[in-house]
Homo-oligomer: A and B are copies of this chain.
Amino acid sequence: MKRLKLNTQRIRSCLKESHLRSTRKRECILEALLTFDRPVSAEELRDRADLPKSDLVTVYRTIEAFLGIGIVQGIPLEDGKTIYELTDPGDHHHHFVCRKCHKTERLDLCLAGELEKKARKLGFSDISHVMEVYGSCEDCN
């Protein structure tokens, strides 16, 4: 599959294709996302985007929109919280995540195919899955 590197330009067209409006706040949040090399929480995102406290709700709604069109991926943490990262649409992968600093390493290892097959056999449909690996990274040790 052809992977298109994400950038502001490309994301704008993603939004357009999905009939989502390209607004000032969204651009702002997007720019913030681009400055991170690791997944982040909604709050971190708001702060990096230099938005007022009350705009957390906009961040959540923006994330929701971005998740919807597949340019953002949510990563569930052990404690039930979620962090988010930009991702190329269709680029499915998992992560090693540091429990402490949330540094991540990409993990290109996935059982999707087998899961799908087994699920079908069991009568499950509309399958999705999570797989995340948590640990302490070198720096945090």
Contact = CB atoms under 8 A, between A and B. Distances in A.
A133 B81 CA distance: 18
A124 B135 contact: yes
A96 B119 contact: yes
Query: In the complex, which range does the number of interface residues on chain A fall in?
Result: 20 to 34
A122 B136 contact: no
Interface of A: 76, 78, 80-82, 96, 98, 105, 107, 109, 111, 114-115, 118-119, 122-138, 141
Oligomer copy total: 2
Contact of A128 (B81, B98, B114, B134): B134
A126 B135 contact: yes
B114 A141 contact: no
A55 B137 CA distance: 38
Given A80-B80, A80-B81, A82-B80, A127 B134 contact: yes
